[in-house]
Amino acid sequence: MRPILPPLPLPNELAMPVRDALRGMRKTLSGPLKLMEPVEGALPEPLRQVARRVGGQPQTPRPDPELADVLGLSDFANSRDATARFARTTYQGLKFALNRLGRDDLLISETVAGLAYRTVQRQNADGADPFQISAQIFEQLVGHHVSGVAPGTSIGLHDAEEQINALAVFAVLLWILVDREIAETNEAEVLALCVDVTASVADQVMEASPDRAQLAGLLSTYAGAI
């Protein structure tokens, strides 16, 4: 059984929560207004009023952005805006992975991704094993519900959603861990391969997910194989 994690702290410099809430609005605008209630509750009052006014109005779909070149885990740690860059990469990766796994209806929180990364980085010294760090990030992302009906909470999540969330997170971390010097240069192809590999070993991932050491071992094995 996965341990209950303490709440993630919200640093002032992480300017993502409103962006997350607005994504939730866009996702639910074309549906019944009842679906907007969890998203609306996350907004400050001025934006809440806007949400009520525009609720139910159709939105013109926009194509998904291209996947940018990905930094390795150590490269994120060495960049000045590491938390924001990791969060954005994780958001894009999860969006792609969930779509490939057939659950593009689930929302993703860039905020949870950034805070999870920041929490783990503060707990580890420079030079720590990247697979061990990734296992800790997995624990934070999954434990704090980085994707779901209402990300950051367990609202509306059942076993199926919990498993999809865990598999998508594993696939994205695998994607980040792949050696860029020997991997294909097309990031979408690399991520698609990571998702497909993860889906094929889903039982192993779910069995290892409560155990950091086992999870780190799986990440190391499959990152080296891709």
* pLDDT, tens only, 96-147: 999 999 998 999 999 999 999 989 988 887 768 889 999 999 999 999 999 9
Structure tokens at 218: 């799986």
Reply yes or no on whether the pLDDT at 60 is more than 50.
Answer: no
Q: What is the dihedral of CA 90, 95, 100, 103, to 10 degrees?
A: 120
Q: What is the model's pLDDT at position 99? A: 92
The residues, ordered by sequence, that sit 6+ positions from 158 with a Cβ below 8 Å of its Cβ are: none
Question: Which of 77-81, 140-144, 168-172 is predicted least confidently?
Answer: 77-81
Tell which residue, 143, 81, 70, 67, has the closest CA to residue 109: 143
Contact between residue 169 and residue 142 where contact means Cβ atoms under 8 Å apart: yes
**DSSP symbol at 35:** G
58-74: average pLDDT: 50
Domain range list for the chain: 17-54, 73-225
Reply yes or no on whether the pLDDT at 88 is more than 70.
Answer: yes
Say which residue the tokens 């969060």 belong to: 87
**DSSP symbol at 208:** H
Q: What is the model's pLDDT at position 204? A: 93
Question: Which of 37-41, 156-160, 211-215, 216-220 is predicted least confidently?
Answer: 37-41
Tell which residue, 136, 86, 91, 93, has the closest CA to residue 110: 91
Give the integer Cα–Cα distance in Å for 154 and 168. Answer: 16
Reply yes or no on whether the pLDDT at 3 is more than 60.
Answer: no
Reply yes or no on whether the pLDDT at 49 is more than 90.
Answer: no
Say which residue the tokens 């341990």 belong to: 3
148-154: average pLDDT: 84
How many helices and strands, by DSSP H and E, does the chain display?
A: 11, 2
- Provide the 10 A C-beta neighbour count for residue 130: 20
- Does the pTM surpass 0.85? The reply is no
Tell which residue, 208, 220, 171, has the closest CA to residue 191: 171
Contact between residue 148 and residue 106 where contact means Cβ atoms under 8 Å apart: yes
* pLDDT, tens only, 179-215: 776 544 678 888 888 899 999 999 999 999 999 999 9
- At residue 148, the 3 state secondary structure works out as strand
Q: What is the model's pLDDT at position 58? A: 42
Give the integer Cα–Cα distance in Å for 124 and 209. Answer: 20
Reply yes or no on whether the pLDDT at 167 is more than 80.
Answer: yes
% the chain with pLDDT above 70: 62
- Provide the 10 A C-beta neighbour count for residue 22: 16
